[in-house]
């Protein structure tokens, strides 16, 4: 089971990722690349919210609704909530990276792909 610290490390390991706390959202930690949000920690719950496509969101919710659900505020845009106690660590890492890829500039992604072997 990934912890909040594990998830934070996943987010911040990605190029140009930074943590930004939003006071208006109750000191909610969000994770951004070039000021664009791609994830956030759950609201006082053991969840993480990730940017995704609507297609990915639908597939994940259909696959396992005990782990994945549309995010209440951003769900209409494809964002998903992930229950940390039930998600596989590797699957979560893949989803975090995909959220980052949906947000990061193409040049940043290209540089990252050049540094990281395809099977990493």
Radius of gyration of the chain (CA): 14
For the chain, the domains span 4-112
Give Cα separations from 32 to 28, 62, 64 (angstroms): 13, 28, 27
Chunked in runs of 10, what are the mean pLDDT values of the chain (120 residues)? 90 97 80 96 82 97 96 91 95 97 97 78
23: number of Cβ within 10 Å: 7
pTM: 0.92
CATH number of the domain at 4-112, please?
Answer: 3.90.1150.30
Query: Which strands, in side-by-side order, build the sheet including 68-70?
Result: 17-22, 28-33, 36-41, 47-50, 80-83, 68-70
């Amino acid at each position: 089971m990934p912890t909040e610290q594990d998830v934070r490390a996943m987010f911040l390991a990605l190029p140009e990722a930074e943590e930004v706390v939003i006071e208006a959202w109750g000191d909610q930690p969000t994770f951004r690349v070039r000021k664009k949000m791609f994830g956030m920690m759950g609201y006082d719950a053991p969840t993480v919210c990730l940017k995704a496509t609507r297609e990915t969101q639908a597939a994940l919710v259909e696959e396992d609704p005990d782990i994945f659900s549309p995010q209440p505020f951003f769900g209409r845009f494809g964002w998903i909530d992930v229950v940390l106690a039930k998600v596989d660590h590797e699957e979560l890492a893949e989803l975090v990276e995909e959220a980052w890829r949906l947000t990061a500039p193409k040049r940043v992604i290209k540089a990252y792909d050049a540094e990281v072997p395809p099977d990493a």
